[in-house]
Amino acid sequence: MNETENAGVAARTMPGVEEPASRQALLEELRRLRSLLNTTLLAMLLLSAAVNAFLFYQDRTVQTELNEARRMVQEFQTVKWPLVNKLVTNLQSFAQVHSDLNPILERYGIKPAAPDQASPPAPAPLPSAGRTGK
């Protein structure tokens, strides 16, 4: 902003006031306004830094939790659930010969394998990984 021009415009709009004094007052007012603007900007900057710090921390926490959840699901689908399926299949085969195991299997909803069944079905389907995004 051109200060001289502003002071001249202000002097023209205030008749009866001496120009030098008016100009000094306007310059002082302008200086105060600039100072106020800078103070406000600094305060906003500090506030913004605090908000950013909080968001950064929050982002890190959520990303860590998300990675952990993905790892758990991945490990379950690739390692643990096939092992459980294998155990159930073997137990079903074992129960064909040793029928006293059947009550245990029935408690978990596992039906005994048919004698001519080559590979008994898995007890339950794997949870689908496609439900992650909503």
Q: What is the CA radius of gyration of the chain?
A: 39
Q: Does 51 bind another protein (CB under 8 A)?
A: yes
Closer to another protein by Cβ: residue 13 or 98: 98
Whole-angstrom CA distances from 119 to 76, 89, 101, 115 are 22, 7, 18, 10
Shortest spacing between CB 44 and another protein, in angstroms: 6
Q: Does 33 bind another protein (CB under 8 A)?
A: no
d(CA 10, CA 21): 11
Number of residues that bind another protein (CB under 8 A): 49
Q: Does 17 bind another protein (CB under 8 A)?
A: no
Q: Does 11 bind another protein (CB under 8 A)?
A: no
Closer to another protein by Cβ: residue 16 or 98: 98
d(CA 62, CA 122): 34
Q: Does 81 bind another protein (CB under 8 A)?
A: yes
Whole-angstrom CA distances from 41 to 30, 36, 51, 55, 70 are 16, 9, 15, 20, 42
Q: Does 62 bind another protein (CB under 8 A)?
A: yes
Q: Does 28 bind another protein (CB under 8 A)?
A: no
